[in-house]
Amino acid sequence: MITVNALSEVAALMGDPARAAMLSLLMDGRAHTASDLAITAGITAQTASGHLSRMVEGNLLAARAQGRNRFYRLASSDVAHAIESLMALAGTRATPASRTAAWRRDPDLRFCRTCYDHLAGQVGIAVTDSLTQHGYLEPKGPRDWKLTQPGELFCERLGVDLPGARQASSRHFARQCLDWSERRPHISGALGAAIADTFFKRGWAERLRRSRTVRLTDSGRRALGSHFGATV
Amino acid sequence: MITVNALSEVAALMGDPARAAMLSLLMDGRAHTASDLAITAGITAQTASGHLSRMVEGNLLAARAQGRNRFYRLASSDVAHAIESLMALAGTRATPASRTAAWRRDPDLRFCRTCYDHLAGQVGIAVTDSLTQHGYLEPKGPRDWKLTQPGELFCERLGVDLPGARQASSRHFARQCLDWSERRPHISGALGAAIADTFFKRGWAERLRRSRTVRLTDSGRRALGSHFGATV
DNA sequence: TTGATGCTTCGGCTGCCGCCGAACCATTGA
DNA sequence: TCAATGGTTCGGCGGCAGCCGAAGCATCAA
């Protein structure tokens, strides 16, 4: 069966520590330079170059040249979801030595991070829960959400770029994405990305360099309370 | 970050051709003997033994001794879902040589297979669609379904072991599982397994040995029409 | 008890793959 | 044009991990 080989090839591509470190950084959804990825993985530029070209060849990454730099990003949100599902598995692996799951040791990452291009972790869940509890978001089908009329008004007041989000016709508008640390769905898709953008633009959250971890600012914490009625 | 290592370890465990072949066989949800798995992977018993103990150690598999034999099965449905998500990735990898996705080359597998312990593929989707269209199944939350009152009656008439399914309190009753070939959700969980059992018990479907592929019998094809109002 | 079967452990071989140094190409800026 | 910077290609080294043969335990059937 051909699918077996394909399975092992994809898995093997993710199964090297250096490549996994790069993929983990790229889970922030942004594009990073080859040298940036090399430093993150703790290897030389030429070794990283080999890894990167292999991952492009394997359709895990997409590359874009810009001047002297070469930027790499995840090829698709499917790749991000596959990585998340593996991380969910890794998180439940209770080692006999310490029964503490791996993600528990990184509380900041668990608190708030980017998942591809939208917010995840406790903050991502808090935002999503608020939207559904206020009736702004309703489940639609197995893996999507519907933004209700009041929900549209709410987003507009918040400054979310709804027209821009709808314009990205090639991707899902409001998608459910399983959160690997909270093990519940949060909002992703074009709307999820637009909401995350709003958080960054209004100074409610800051990306930490070289990490998926996101820091919630003081004003962000206040905004969660006043706009979303949530405390984290 | 510790999660990075955990990610690469899990992925590497799936990234070996022999182990991937074993995992693929175990995706039928049943337990298989060590020698059976060795033959499937095309390696000797002692080599397989090493692979199997590593996968047990890595919490991918669970082992159970029975007489002289030792049976291995997937440790949890989480493992099955992670493998499915990787297969979904592998399926979309269009090689430049042939733009045909891998699963297209195995139409039987795409038509009907077991996913862990329930039906997947076109038949799994047809059954699920029929249940939802008749109002027997309603979406409940992001990843579950609710079996309605008419749905319970329908299942009882069909001979599905509902009490037995409800008894498995440790697992989800009616879960949504994303089908990697159809890319839509089908019914899984205890109810999904019970429905699949009914198909096998009533001779509507037959497992092909050493494969996830399931053959729909003639009576099964008729049953799909008469009971589910579906044609495949 | 004896032999057959299923599985595992041990030891040693082999090949692959990740790694780096060195050299090379491309872009930028002076 | 020349130096500096970012990336890739090439060649060779070293270690790990997958593989098997041989031997060692269990279990079952006589």
Lowest mean pLDDT among A89-103, A155-169, A188-202: A89-103
Number of domains into which chain B is organized = 2
Q: What is the mean pLDDT of residues B48-60?
A: 95
Contact criterion met (CB below 8 Å) for B135 and B148: yes
Same domain assignment for residues A67 and A106: no
Reported confidence tier of residue B51, pLDDT bands at 50, 70, 90: very high
| Selection from A232, A78, A109 nearest residue A180 by Cα | A109
Which domain, by its residues, includes A106?
Answer: 97-228
Interface check A45 vs B, CB under 8 A = no
Chain B residues with beta carbon closer than 8 angstroms to that of A21: 4, 8
pLDDT tens-digit profile of B61-75?
A: 999 887 778 989 999
- Interatomic CA distance for residues B33 and B213, integer angstroms: 19
Contact criterion met (CB below 8 Å) for B117 and B192: yes
The CA distances from residue B198 to A182, B177, B226, in Å, are 35, 19, 15
Nearest-by-Cβ selection for A7 from B1, B87, B184: B87
B211 Cα to chain A: minimum distance (Å): 9
Residues in contact with B107: Cβ distance below 8 Å, sequence separation at least 6, in sequence order: none
B57 Cα to chain A: minimum distance (Å): 9
Q: Above 80 in pLDDT, residue B136?
A: yes
Q: What is the mean pLDDT of residues B97-110?
A: 52
pLDDT tens-digit profile of A46-57?
A: 999 999 999 999
Q: What is the mean pLDDT of chain B?
A: 82
Please state whether strand D lies within 7 Å of residue A35 at its CB atom: yes
Query: Would B98 be classed as within a structural domain?
Result: no
Lowest mean pLDDT among A55-69, B122-136, B162-176: B162-176
| Selection from B67, B35, B64 nearest residue B51 by Cα | B35
- Interatomic CA distance for residues B93 and A176, integer angstroms: 23
- Give the residue with greater pLDDT, A140 vs B222: B222
Query: Would A159 be classed as within a structural domain?
Result: yes
Residue carrying structure tokens 């182990």: B19
Nearest-by-Cβ selection for A24 from B1, B9, B59: B1
Which tokens hold the place of B11? 């992925």
Its ipTM equals: 0.62
Reported confidence tier of residue B28, pLDDT bands at 50, 70, 90: confident
Lowest mean pLDDT among A153-167, A169-183, B17-31, B105-119: A169-183
Lowest mean pLDDT among A63-67, A163-167, B87-91, B165-169: B165-169
Reported confidence tier of residue B104, pLDDT bands at 50, 70, 90: very low
pLDDT tens-digit profile of B205-232?
A: 988 766 678 889 999 999 998 899 888 7
- Give the residue with greater pLDDT, B32 vs A3: B32
What SS3 state is found at A25? Answer: helix
Contact criterion met (CB below 8 Å) for A48 and A34: yes
Reported confidence tier of residue B169, pLDDT bands at 50, 70, 90: low
Same domain assignment for residues B71 and B125: no
For B192-224, give the DSSP string.
HHHHHHHHHHTTSEEEPTTSSBEEEPHHHHHHH
| pLDDT at residue A71, rounded to an integer | 87
- Give the residue with greater pLDDT, B99 vs A173: A173
Q: Above 90 in pLDDT, residue A10?
A: yes
Please state whether strand D lies within 7 Å of residue B149 at its CB atom: no
Which of B56, B78, B100 finishes a domain?
Answer: B78
Size of interface A-B (CB pairs under 8 A): 171
Most confident of A47-56, A133-142, A167-176, B202-211: A47-56
B101 Cα to chain A: minimum distance (Å): 9
| pLDDT at residue B176, rounded to an integer | 74
Query: Would B89 be classed as within a structural domain?
Result: no
Element (H, E) at A20: helix A17-26
Give the DSSP letter of residue A213: B
Please state whether strand C lies within 7 Å of residue B127 at its CB atom: no
| pLDDT at residue B18, rounded to an integer | 95
CATH of the domain at A57: 1.10.10.10
Contact criterion met (CB below 8 Å) for B199 and B220: yes
Interface check B62 vs A, CB under 8 A = no
Nucleotides on strand D lying under 7 Å from protein C-beta: 5-10, 17-23, 26-28
Please state whether strand D lies within 7 Å of residue B18 at its CB atom: yes
Same domain assignment for residues B59 and B148: no
Lowest mean pLDDT among A122-131, B49-58, B83-92, B154-163: B83-92
Contact state of B178 with A89 under an 8 Å Cβ cutoff: no
Same domain assignment for residues A216 and A129: yes
Query: Would A41 be classed as within a structural domain?
Result: yes
Same domain assignment for residues A15 and A106: no
Contact state of A16 with B12 under an 8 Å Cβ cutoff: yes
Contact criterion met (CB below 8 Å) for A220 and A127: no
Query: Would B63 be classed as within a structural domain?
Result: yes
Chain B residues with beta carbon closer than 8 angstroms to that of A74: none
| pLDDT at residue B179, rounded to an integer | 62
| pLDDT at residue A17, rounded to an integer | 95
Same domain assignment for residues B124 and B73: no
Q: What is the mean pLDDT of residues A19-32?
A: 88
Same domain assignment for residues A55 and A106: no
> Chain B window 88-127: which residues touch A at a Cβ cutoff of 8 Å?
88-94, 102-103, 105-106, 109
End-to-end Cα separation, chain A, in angstroms: 48
Q: Which residues pair with B144 in a beta bridge?
A: B140, B175
* Numbers of helices and strands, H then E, in chain A: 11, 11
Interface check B20 vs A, CB under 8 A = yes
**Alpha helices (H) in chain B, listed in sequence order:** 2-14, 17-26, 34-41, 45-57, 77-92, 107-111, 121-133, 149-158, 162-167, 189-201, 218-228
Query: Would A81 be classed as within a structural domain?
Result: no
Q: Above 70 in pLDDT, residue B188?
A: yes
Most confident of A119-123, B116-120, B200-204: B200-204
Residue whose CA is minimally distant from D27 C1': B68
What SS3 state is found at B183? Answer: coil
Same domain assignment for residues B74 and B112: no
Compute the half-sphere exposure of residue A220: CA atoms within 13 Å on the CB side of its CA: 24
* Alpha carbon B111 to chain centroid, angstroms: 13
